[in-house]
Amino acid sequence: MSAKGLVTYRSANASKVTTEEGQSYPAILRKKLKKHKLYAGDRVEGEIVGDQFVIEKIEPRKNLLTRPPVANVDNVLVVMAIKDPDFDNFLLDNLLTVYEYKGIESIVILNKADLAKPEELEKWQELYRSIGYETIAVSAKNEEGIERIKNYIQGDITILAGPSGVGKSTLLSRLLGIPIKTGEVSQKLKRGRHTTTAITLYPLDHGSYIADTPGFGKVEATYFMDKKDARLYFKEFGKYRCKYPDCTHTNEPGCEVKEAVKRGEIACERFKSYLKIMGYYWDELEHICS
């Protein structure tokens, strides 16, 4: 019987496909596809043979993330704790730049609201909202704000991303309404020198799926793109026209972005992150932030 499905589990040596009818099967690749790579999030066609899904075709991917390895991602919930670990806006700005570059919608989740001073939470929430990111303050621990997240998830595949310890797995279990032991979801399989991650897409509602991912120490936008292109992925810079179209917003005359920072239209914290990505010394431009 021929069928269509989605790869909802992928590890180094096993995978699972869930069909449009919601049935899950262990999956294998038809011999002719053996050289092809298969990712969680891949849409596939094949045959159900016995209790196995034999994949005969992998649909072209609209995008592919490498860390975590997931294809066809529609949204990323970029999770940051406001405290414990301390909020790190440079890391957040790097992540947002990378997803912007990949053309994937980011939703900023400020977790551990229960530990934060309300002023601090407000400040960051306002800042990222003003750029145009949906920004939601939640407490996974106290189950506050969780339902609101669901309203902003659009499309079929969402992933949770963010540094270690910010509460991604706790949040996932709240979103799914099932108890998942912390540390159990993002299971790492060590194979010699290589560390491979098993990815599971969990069904949310109405055919949408969400994946937890293990946290990381740091992510730098410059691993993914040329630093001279970073300016294209700071959304709020887009509406300013500098004297030079290729202005790097550092030492050029007639820079409208710097003027906007001076006027307080672009947040100093964001501009500082940008300069750091550019490898530019902040001290030289510090005076433009009051």
Ligand X SMILES: Nc1nc2c(ncn2[C@@H]2O[C@H](COP(=O)(O)OP(=O)(O)OP(=O)(O)O)[C@@H](O)[C@H]2O)c(=O)[nH]1
Does position 248 interact with Mg ion (CB under 5 A)? The reply is: no
Among 43, 112, 249, 270, which residue sits at the site for ligand X (rule: CB under 6 A)? 112
If 0-12 CB within 10 Å is exposed, 13-18 middle and 19+ buried, where does residue 279 land? exposed
Does position 197 interact with Mg ion (CB under 5 A)? The reply is: no
Sign of CA dihedral 239, 245, 246, 247: negative
The CA-CA-CA angle for residues 16, 160, 131, to 5°, reads 140
163/217 Cα distance (integer angstroms): 6
Residue 93: C-alpha distances to residues 15, 46, 140, 237, 238 (Å) = 33, 41, 22, 13, 16
Q: Are 44 and 5 in contact (CB under 8 A)?
A: yes
How far out from the chain centre does Cα 214 lie? 12
Shorter beta-carbon distance to Zn ion: residue 221 or 247: 247
User: Shortest approach of Mg ion to residue 253 CB, angstroms?
Assistant: 48
Does position 137 interact with Zn ion (CB under 5 A)? The reply is: no
The residue type of 5 is G
Does position 235 interact with ligand X (CB under 6 A)? The reply is: no
User: Shortest approach of Mg ion to residue 169 CB, angstroms?
Assistant: 3
Please identify, among the stretches 61-69, 121-129, 162-170, 236-244, the one whose residues bind ligand X according to the rule CB under 6 A.
Answer: 162-170
Among 54, 153, 167, 248, which residue sits at the site for ligand X (rule: CB under 6 A)? 167
170 binds, among ligand X, Mg ion, Zn ion, none (CB under 5 to 8 A by kind): ligand X
5/21 Cα distance (integer angstroms): 9
Please identify, among the stretches 64-72, 86-94, 168-176, 217-225, the one whose residues bind Mg ion according to the rule CB under 5 A.
Answer: 168-176
228/109 Cα distance (integer angstroms): 28
Shorter beta-carbon distance to ligand X: residue 173 or 248: 173
User: Shortest approach of Zn ion to residue 242 CB, angstroms?
Assistant: 3
User: Shortest approach of Zn ion to residue 245 CB, angstroms?
Assistant: 9
Among 112, 174, 249, 270, which residue sits at the site for Zn ion (rule: CB under 5 A)? 249
Does position 231 interact with Zn ion (CB under 5 A)? The reply is: no
- Written as six digits, the tokens of 151 are 């309203």
Task: Report the DSSP beta bridge partners of residue 158.
Answer: 75, 210
Among 7, 58, 242, 277, which residue sits at the site for Zn ion (rule: CB under 5 A)? 242
Shorter beta-carbon distance to Mg ion: residue 165 or 254: 165
Contact positions toward Zn ion, by CB under 5 A?
A: 242, 247, 249, 255, 257
